[in-house]
Structures are given as structure tokens and as C-alpha cells.
Structure 1
Amino acid sequence: MRLLTKSRFKLGLECPNKLYYTNKRDYANQKQEDPFLMALAEGGFQVEEYARMHHPGGIMIESDYNNYDYQGYHDQTQELLNQENVIIYEAAFLFEGLFIRADILEKRGNVIYLREIKAKSWGDNSFFVGVRGDIKAEWKPYLWDLAFQSYVVQKTLPSLKVVSSFVLADKNKKATVNGMNQMFRIKKGTDARADIQTLVTDLSSLGDFVLIEKEVSSEVSKILNGHFKQLVDKSFLECVELLSKNYKSNNFSSWAVDYSACKKCEFKTTSQDEKEGKRSGFNNCLKTMEAWGNVDFIKPNIFDIWDWRYDKLVSQKKFFKKQLTEDDVNLKSDSSRISRTERQWLQIVKDREDDLKFEVLQSELKKEIRSVKYPLHFIDFETATVALPFHEGRKPYETIAFQFSHHIMYEDGKVEHANEYINTEKGVFPNFDFLRNLKKALSGDRGSVFRYSSHENTVLNHIRKQLEDSTEVDKDELIEFILLITNQKDKSGKKVLHKGERDMVDLCKWVKDYYYNPLTKGSNSLKAYLPASINSSSYLQGKYSNPIGEINLSSLNFDTDKVWLKRVGGVFKDPYLELEPIHSEYADYDLDDLISSNEEIKDGGAALVAYAKLQYTDMEQFEVDAIKNALLRYCELDTLAMVMIFEHLQEISR
């Protein structure tokens, strides 16, 4: 039975062609979601169960995912709705090829209350519709999802009124009890919707409600009535008709190529997919819609241009980098740095000429390097944000800093893995202990402190606000330390409100301002620049091809005979691929990609899922130890990677 479910409706709104590829085993899919991991990472299973407890007495429509019975679930729901008043969890509705399940559905007389639970935050600056009268981009997929649910329910129950609402995590509310997030646990390998272990039965023991219910019937009504459009200019009903018809008939929609949709398309093949004989939906679309031949897929195309914000190239049929001119990127130079458009143009020119040589603003980079003060400190944090707070007084989605690594580089070239910290103890709020250990690690001298990108600065500013509201006896001393090594900007991000005397140096900004390496394929991430730097640096190759015990490098997690660089097939292997995965069943890179789709989550997916596992699942001690040891090794490499990149920048600045 080919039914347009709400998840398929959402997928089709991204691009109707995707419906042709989804669930076909012969097509590769880089976004195959694992419900267990997503539930862990975003806290969705906790929020759902917590919300259900505030609507008690509901009846669950149980699922068997090995034998999914759409009609049976619909019939169970209809039977329950014969009652005057009833609450149903995972209510199911089937109407003319459309199928939905509702998180919490309540019938009171002739009114249906449709509640969609989202592990998404709501705060003072949150709103659904912007000043121009359009739905905000971040809420559009959620509101159209809820509109689809409301439509199917209303068509099934035409005599009843449907009231639609979101249930969200309220960032203005504080927990009034400790350990709320430990009250709901999930068993691995089970249906995350239903098989939740709730460790509390008395609602009062959970304290004040930290979620908020926001009715969106008005916004949903405007979607259903065609006020808002999707798929360029189609009304809701037109979208449903198009997607339902094509999915039911297994027809390719022949939807026009769109830059942003194609750039993010998950139906692309990796080398491993190609070895397994899987097909590329991305390739099929370009062959079908734009008559690309096999040779065209070898040519450098526009879909990987860094930070490209315009779709105009597609409308002009400029799909290949060789077709582009400086005017296409609106090239603007900057005498002191590599501008955004210069970086884009470098990527275009290097790719189309197959030029693998890096570019560097040598004198500007040299000036930055000469400005730092030894010994140099390189730090990296691992953090989490959870929907349900750990401690009394904490709010939903407050940052939790549970791990850091710290390398020191001395002026004579000695590199020391000096400190590390990790706290994954269940139900413990680690931030202040984390900060005390970081302060101790960095307070032995006045050397420059390096971070990679803005994450560490953001986390420390967040902890400062937590300290200001706390009763910690040493909070003034800790706040002073944070102010010393951080900066703070206004909401626009342009005006600096505060800059500490020892404000951290952003190594990523150095890279973006003064250095471009085509081996990164336009990415500026640490994990892209490490292998690119290694394969461009004779210095790094010569040094790190030797055991760490022989190169004046210490480690807290690796033996002295550890060798970081190994040549495979003419190139040096990415050191991250030398690590044992944090999760035996998933590659760390895959998890980073999997989790990155959730805008509430700001840090690496592999570490975040590991933290969630340690918090919310029951494991043997050997499993706990294995994950913690893997986290320590992973985070150590993050700061060593920063050291290596700095050494490479030193090398090329000379």
C-alpha cells in the first residue's frame, strides 16, 4: 500500500522528485535516520512521554513496525472515537491514500484537540509568522506537517471541529525539581514512540510544567485555505494532490532542478554505495531534467560552492564552474583578508583547473602568528543541550558542557596534552565543575588561548549567565575568568560589547581570512582542514609519521608508540579515521551528519549521542568505560588537530 504519510508529505515539499527515490533499496540515501539515535539526541522521546503525563488516561495505538497495519490502526482509532470524551496517543487516520499519526489527540464532545509534540524550543523571540506576513522558514515544515495532519483528521471526522496546537519546550520556564531528565528512559532496539520506561508515576514529583502549548489553528487554517504557498506557487490542496498522485502511482514528478534542494539532496552516492551497485537520485534528476551525460558528472559543478546564497545560476542554466565569471559571484576583494566572494572564486577556479595548490596571504598570516604569546593553549569542548533540564532552576535547552581537551604548545616546539575533563555521571549538572577545571588548566600563565570557531566562546558566555543566577560561593571568581578569555557581541554580531584581555584566538577565522586549501572542497571545518593540511605539509608529514614518544609530544590517552600519520595509496589517511568509533554500530562522521539536521543541536553528533546514551540508557560498566575512553581519545585529537593546523600555518607563513 503506497500511502502519503506526513513524513513523505514533508519530504515531497522539499522536492517532489524525492518521493520517487525514498524507500527504494536500489537508490542510495545519505539520511537514513535511526529513530533511536534521533530520539536520544534531541530528547524527543522524553518530551513526548512528559507531555503525555500531563494528558493522562490516554490510550496508545500500539505499532508493530515489522508488520505495519495502516487500516488496523485507523480502525482502532475510529472505535475509540465513538466515545464522547477520549484521549488517544498515536491516533491513526487513513483517508484516500493519506495517512497520519497524531502525538496526542483528545476528543471532547464535538471538538478534536490535535497536539503535535516537538522537542523544539519556544522563547521570547519566537514567532510563527514574520513581519512580512510569511511563515518563518524555521517553522514552515512543522506548520505544513501539522496542517497535513489537521486536513486528514478533518476529512475523516467532517462533523467535528479540529483545534491544532504545538507542545514545545519553554525556554522561559525553570525546572522546580532535580533529575527531571532521568525520569524517562528508552530501550535500545525498540519503538521509540511507545516503549518508554517512565520512572515516576506521580505527576507532582516532576514539579512545574516546563513545556508550553501554542495553538496554531489560525496559521493552519491559512495554509489549508491556500493563503500560504509551497513548491513555488502551489496551494496546500495542490501540493497534496501532486504528491499523493505521484507517490501512489510511483511516478517520477519531473520537478525542475532547484539549487538549494539539489545541493542538500540526500539521494547521492558515495564510493561505497557505487561499489554496492546503488543508484544516485541526484544523477537521475540531472540526466532526466537537464540532459546531463555521464561525462558531465565528472565536471566540477556549482552544487558544492561554499556559502552560495543564490539560485540564479540554475535559472541561467549555468551548472558547471567552467561557465562562471567573476560577475556571477559578485567578486569583491579585501586588501587585508580573503573575502567571502574571493573564497568562492578561489574554489571555482581551483576546481575547474584541477589545481590543488593552496593560497595564503603570507604577510597577514605572519603578523597574526607573531602577535600570539607563548605558551599556546588549544582547547575544545563537547557539549549537549537537553529539552528537559537536569537540575532545579535550569531551563530547557540550556547548554551542558561535559568535556574538554587541552593541549599546550611551547616556544621550543614541545607539545603537551596537558589536561582533559569529562563528566557523564547520570543526572549531574557539570558546568561549574567543568569551568573550575578549565580555569585551573589555563591559569598557570598568560599564554594565548586558541579555539576553532565560535563554539567555545558561546558556551562560556552561556555558563557565565548560569553563574550569575547561581549561589556558587566562587561565582565572582569564575565569572572574572570567563570575562578574561571571551568576547561578547550585540545581537547583530557586529558590535563588540566586551573583549577580554586574554580573549581566545579563533583559529578558524585565521583559516578563513588568510588561507584556502582546495583539498577541503570549500569546507572550513576542523575535520576538513586537518587532512587537507596534512596532505599539503611536508613538515607535518615528516613529524607525525613518527611515534609520538619520539617527536616531543605527550598524550593522556595514547601510548608513546602511537603514530598519527600513515600513507595509503599516495595520500596520508585522515587521523580521525584511525580512531575506534565512539559507537561501534555507527561511524562518527555519519552521526555528525545525522544529528546536524536538528537546529537545537549545536555540536558534534557522535559526542552528543554518546552523552545521551550514558545519560538515558542502561548499560554495563564495560560499555560505559568504552564510550568514555572513546570520547577522551576523540576530544584529544580535536585539540591536537588544532596544533597541527597551527604548525602548518607557521610553516607556510615563513
Structure 2
Amino acid sequence: MTLLTKSKFISALQCPRLLWHSNKKLLPEVSIADQHRFDQGAEFEKFARLLFPEGINLENLDFNKNLEQTEKLIKNNVIIFEASFKDDNLFIRSDVLEPVDDKFNLYEIKSTTEVKPQHISDLAFQKYVLEKLNIKINKCFILHLNKEFTKNDEINPEELVKREEVTEQVNAIQDIEENTNKFLKILNQETSPDMTISKNCNKPYICPLKSECWSTLPKNNITQLTNWRQYWKLFEEGIQDIKDIPKDTILKPKDEVIREAVIKNKIQISIEHIKHSLNSLKYPLFHFDFETFDTAVPIFNKSKPYQKIPFQYSLHIQHKDGKLEHFEYLATGEEDPRIKLLEQLKNEIKGEGSVIVFNKSFEISVLKKLAEDFPQHSDWIQDVLDRIIDLAIPFQNYHYYNPIQKGKYSIKKVLPAITGNGYDNLEINNGLDASVQYFISHIKNKTKDNKLREHLLKYCCLDTEGMVWIIDELEKIIK
């Protein structure tokens, strides 16, 4: 029997095609980053359950045993974790059911720092199934992370977990039965529903089928434009290729640069703007990049849920005469890495000179939090903040644009576009993988994986060495 579960229901709200593929187990393999996110959710769930010390946990029971035990316990007025309920083709497991007189409070545990629309839909589907089984719901709640919580030795679940009532929002959803009937029909179809790409491909999550569904788009398609409202409007009008945008269509200046680059198949350069950017640099240049990890439940004192914890940096110091020095740090994972990282970095970024980063908002936010958590270093950190120059600006403003960037201006796109060198030959070639692999190896499993450390060092080194190369290429352009 094909069952519509709450996870399938949420998938169906995003896209019927996603529902069909998830039911047929035709989804791509779960990425290491997604698995890490699931693991963080499970870790938070342990703390949320501590709010109900009398709760009985059924999560380790198999399908039929869980249903049997739930049926028995529901009559005994006890708190239940992972209670299972089935009504014909509908199946749910509820995170927490708490008896209140002849009714129940229904709780959903989410490792986010706020309530999101999909959480309400999740609870509404559960409530619908429970009420079909004559189980009355008193109130509905989301248990989520308190974003203001700061760890200070032992964690108090009452402080970490925020209990937010959402009964009114849940009751406002009136189309559960209609959607349920529609989704059950899709589950039983022989073939996948035909769907066109839309905003839902990224909302509320990036769909695991996105790369497959979007693979049919032209090489230079309109989703590479920066104005997403305009490109969806064009898409709805049947325009997919940038070259097919009518000439009289007024685009934003950045998108005009993209269109011009595609039509002429030529790099677009604003020499005056690039000159202005380079003239603001003060040597020596300190090319700098952090790598960080974050966890739902803080593991170090003086840290909050999902706070970025820097565990690695790379620093290239570029002197006016061309001399280049490289410094790096990679924590061992045995303790909070922040103090040692700060102390070493403080000895390396000294004197005067611009501190070069790529996309400054990230490094600035990490540095500001370090200054807040370790005020003994705040004066030095403020000096570094005052000297930061964002190398992404010329690319963010499309003063340099190569069609191979495909509308993006991250260093992963810019570096190969301007230098011909990229990240493809590295074992670790993006920041998310670096973060998760470090966390699993060094924090979770406490292993000393020297090969992984070598890969992490190479990856972070390329980020800062790449910035040196980018400036060298920009200097050549203006000459």
C-alpha cells in the first residue's frame, strides 16, 4: 500500500513531481551537507524531549509495533514521542503528543530559529489525520531553537528550546483534505507528473530534482540574470534564452552587462571602475579567508545556535615588490579553536595594509562575533575591520563579467573566469564540504585524518592565493 506521510505531503506542496519521485525512491543520494543538517536536527530533538521527562519514546519500534504501542498508550494519558497513526493511505509520526484532559497538545520539533510556513503545514496535516481517527487536538506548538541562547557550561533545555504556539495558524489552513486527495492520486500515477520549473524549485528548500529539471534550459538562460522577478516573468512568457529577450525589454544595468556579454560572447570590462577599486588598495595586501562550521546546539561556551565557529584560515601577504608570504591555521579539534586562531592571526596581520577578502559580509560577521565573545582582542579586530577591502565588489557590480560566470560572482566562478585556474582538481572544492567534513572528522568522530587535513589546507590556500592572482589579472587589464 502506498502511504502519504507528512514528509511526502510537504514535498508535494513544493512540487508534485518531487512527491512522485520520493515515493518511487528515485531521488539523488543525500549529500554530506544535507545529512549533516539532518543530524543536527536529531541532536536538537534530544534536548527538546527533555522538556517532557515523563515521555515514552517509540522511535526505535518497527512500523507495526509502533502502531500497536501507540494505540495502547494513547488510552493511558501519557506523553508519547514518535507516536504512529494510520488512516487508510495516510500515515504520520508525531514528535510529541501531550495529553490535556480528553484532548492532546501536538508538538513538532524543528531545529530552526523561527517558525516557518512549512512547519504549519506539517502540523496541519498531522492534525487532520489525528482528527480523522477521533483524536482531539487541544493546541499545536513548534519547539524550535532559541536564537538568543548562549552556551555557558551545561545546557538547560528550558533555555535552549523555545515553545511557540501556532494553533491559530494551523486551524487557518483549510485545504488539507483537498490536497491530500490530490496527492494520493499522484502517488498512484504510473508516470511522473509533467512540471515546468518555477520559484518553487528553491522554496522552501532547494529541490533535490532541481539539477535534473533545470538541465534542459539553454546554456545562457534567463535564470542567470540578477533580477529574479523579471526573469520569472520572462520565463512565464516563454522566453528561456538570454539571446531571445526582446531588444526593447529594459533590464537592470547589471543584467544589461550579462545580456551584452552573451550576445557578443565577449568579456565585459569597465576599466575606470576597476582602476578605482585597485587605487583603494594599500600595500602590503593581507589576503584572508576563514572556514567555519556551525551546529544547531552550541558545543562551545560563548556560542549560540548556528553561530559560525572559525576553525581554519589562510593568509597570503602580498608586498608591493611582488614578494608573497603564506600563513595558515587549522585547528586540531580538541578544544574551542577560536582563541588559538585569534592569537596566531593577531601575530600575522600587523602594521598597515589592506585586508583583502572576497564577499566581506561573511568575514566581517565572524570577526564581529569574535570581538563580542573575546573582548580582549576587540581593539585589534576593529583595526582589521577598518582595513577590509572586498575584492568581490568589481564582480558584484559587473565591472568585470565573463559569460562563463553564468551570472554568478562567487570566487568559485570568478577565479576560473579571469585566471583560467579553478577548484575542479581539488578533493574539497567548496566551503560547505570543507565545513562538514572537518566537523565530522575532528569534532564528531575525534579522528586525526591527515589526508583530510591536507585537502582542507589546499582548499583554503587556493581561496587566498586565488585573490592574489585575481588582483594580478586586474592590474594587467588596466595597463
TM-score (norm. length: structure 2) = 0.89
Q: 2:178 aligns with which of 200, 215, 238?
A: 238
Deviations 1:386-432 (A, max 9, x none): 22223445433333222211011122223221x21222434x33334
Deviation larger for 303-312 or 112-121: 303-312
Instruction: Report the secondary structure of 2:464's partner residue.
Output: helix
Deviations 1:573-604 (A, max 9, x none): x3x232234xxxxxx55xxxxxxxxxxxxxx3
In the TM superposition, residue 39 of structure 1 has moved relative to its aligned partner by: 3.2
Please tell me the residue identity of whatever aligns with 1:434. Answer: L
Deviations 1:111-131 (A, max 9, x none): 222221111114xxxxx6xxx
The answer as to whether partners of 1:372 and 1:448 remain within 8 angstroms in 2 is: yes
In the TM superposition, residue 207 of structure 1 has moved relative to its aligned partner by: 7.8
The answer as to whether partners of 2:289 and 2:314 remain within 8 angstroms in 1 is: yes
Q: Which residue of 2 aligns with 1:449?
A: 355
C-alpha separation in 2, matches of 1:522 and 1:619: 40
Q: Pairwise mapping of residues 194-209 of structure 1 onto structure 2 (< 5 A)? A: 209=159
C-alpha separation in 1, matches of 2:367 and 2:59: 44
Q: Which residue of 2 aligns with 1:422?
A: 330
In the TM superposition, residue 258 of structure 1 has moved relative to its aligned partner by: 5.0
Instruction: Report the secondary structure of 1:643's partner residue.
Output: helix
Instruction: Report the secondary structure of 1:408's partner residue.
Output: strand
Q: Pairwise mapping of residues 120-159 of structure 1 onto structure 2 (< 5 A)? A: 120-122=112-114, 139-156=116-133, 158-159=134-135
The answer as to whether partners of 2:84 and 2:91 remain within 8 angstroms in 1 is: yes
Q: 1:172 aligns with which of 148, 163, 173?
A: 148
The 3 A distance-change label for structure 1 pair 24 and 302 is farther
Please tell me the residue identity of whatever aligns with 2:353. Answer: G
Please tell me the residue identity of whatever aligns with 2:285. Answer: L
Alignment pair present for 1:630 and 2:455: yes
Alignment pair present for 1:512 and 2:396: yes
Q: 2:439 aligns with which of 609, 612, 630?
A: 612
Deviations 1:210-242 (A, max 9, x none): 21111111111112xx3xxxxxxxx33322222
In the TM superposition, residue 619 of structure 1 has moved relative to its aligned partner by: 4.6
Please tell me the residue identity of whatever aligns with 2:47. Answer: Y
Q: Which residue of 1 aligns with 2:56?
A: 59
Q: Pairwise mapping of residues 82-481 of structure 1 onto structure 2 (< 5 A)? A: 82-83=75-76, 85-122=77-114, 139-156=116-133, 158-177=134-153, 209-223=159-173, 226=174, 235-250=175-190, 252-254=192-194, 257=196, 259-262=198-201, 266-267=208-209, 280-281=212-213, 298=218, 300-310=220-230, 311-325=232-246, 328=249, 330-331=250-251, 341-351=252-262, 353=263, 355-417=264-326, 419-426=327-334, 428-443=335-350, 445-453=351-359, 454-468=361-375, 475=376, 478-481=377-380
In the TM superposition, residue 102 of structure 1 has moved relative to its aligned partner by: 1.9
Instruction: Report the secondary structure of 1:578's partner residue.
Output: coil
The answer as to whether partners of 1:150 and 1:162 remain within 8 angstroms in 2 is: no
The 3 A distance-change label for structure 1 pair 302 and 261 is farther
In the TM superposition, residue 532 of structure 1 has moved relative to its aligned partner by: 1.7
Instruction: Report the secondary structure of 1:442's partner residue.
Output: coil
In the TM superposition, residue 437 of structure 1 has moved relative to its aligned partner by: 2.2
In the TM superposition, residue 297 of structure 1 has moved relative to its aligned partner by: 5.0
Q: Which residue of 2 aligns with 1:198?
A: none
C-alpha separation in 1, matches of 2:58 and 2:227: 45
Number of residue-to-residue matches in the alignment: 473
In the TM superposition, residue 616 of structure 1 has moved relative to its aligned partner by: 4.8
C-alpha separation in 2, matches of 1:363 and 1:423: 42
Q: Which residue of 2 aligns with 1:336?
A: none
In the TM superposition, residue 627 of structure 1 has moved relative to its aligned partner by: 3.0
In the TM superposition, residue 73 of structure 1 has moved relative to its aligned partner by: 3.3
C-alpha separation in 2, matches of 1:326 and 1:484: 49
The answer as to whether partners of 2:128 and 2:176 remain within 8 angstroms in 1 is: no
In the TM superposition, residue 48 of structure 1 has moved relative to its aligned partner by: 0.8
The 3 A distance-change label for structure 1 pair 161 and 527 is same
C-alpha separation in 2, matches of 1:119 and 1:326: 47
The answer as to whether partners of 1:86 and 1:108 remain within 8 angstroms in 2 is: no
C-alpha separation in 2, matches of 1:402 and 1:462: 14
In the TM superposition, residue 262 of structure 1 has moved relative to its aligned partner by: 4.9
Instruction: Report the secondary structure of 2:113's partner residue.
Output: strand
Instruction: Report the secondary structure of 1:441's partner residue.
Output: coil
Deviations 1:167-186 (A, max 9, x none): 111122333425x5xxxxxx
In the TM superposition, residue 524 of structure 1 has moved relative to its aligned partner by: 1.0
The 3 A distance-change label for structure 1 pair 72 and 319 is farther
Please tell me the residue identity of whatever aligns with 2:476. Answer: E
In the TM superposition, residue 33 of structure 1 has moved relative to its aligned partner by: 7.3
Deviations 1:341-395 (A, max 9, x none): 23323333433x4x54211111221232133111111000112232222344543
C-alpha separation in 2, matches of 1:637 and 1:347: 27
The 3 A distance-change label for structure 1 pair 281 and 386 is closer
Q: Which residue of 2 aligns with 1:495?
A: none
Please tell me the residue identity of whatever aligns with 1:425. Answer: G
The 3 A distance-change label for structure 1 pair 616 and 209 is farther
Please tell me the residue identity of whatever aligns with 1:325. Answer: P
Deviations 1:50-107 (A, max 9, x none): 122332243333458xxxx645533332222121x22222222222322222222233
TM-score (norm. length: structure 1) = 0.66
C-alpha separation in 2, matches of 1:326 and 1:456: 40
In the TM superposition, residue 639 of structure 1 has moved relative to its aligned partner by: 0.9
The 3 A distance-change label for structure 1 pair 162 and 627 is farther
The 3 A distance-change label for structure 1 pair 529 and 614 is same
C-alpha separation in 1, matches of 2:259 and 2:30: 27
Please tell me the residue identity of whatever aligns with 1:456. Answer: E
Deviation larger for 379-388 or 516-525: 379-388
Q: Which residue of 2 aligns with 1:39?
A: 38
Please tell me the residue identity of whatever aligns with 2:19. Answer: L
The answer as to whether partners of 1:29 and 1:268 remain within 8 angstroms in 2 is: no
Alignment pair present for 1:80 and 2:73: yes
Deviations 1:434-477 (A, max 9, x none): 2232222111x311110010210111122222235xxxxxx1xx
Question: How large is the Cα RMSD of the aligned pairs?
Answer: 2.8
C-alpha separation in 2, matches of 1:483 and 1:243: 55
The answer as to whether partners of 1:176 and 1:208 remain within 8 angstroms in 2 is: no
Alignment pair present for 1:6 and 2:13: no
Deviations 1:277-322 (A, max 9, x none): xxx4557xxxxxxxxxxxx855643234345234322332223323
Instruction: Report the secondary structure of 1:121's partner residue.
Output: coil
The answer as to whether partners of 1:378 and 1:449 remain within 8 angstroms in 2 is: yes
Please tell me the residue identity of whatever aligns with 2:418. Answer: S
Q: Which residue of 2 aligns with 1:293?
A: none
The answer as to whether partners of 2:222 and 2:235 remain within 8 angstroms in 1 is: no
Deviation larger for 2-11 or 243-252: 243-252
The 3 A distance-change label for structure 1 pair 219 and 207 is closer
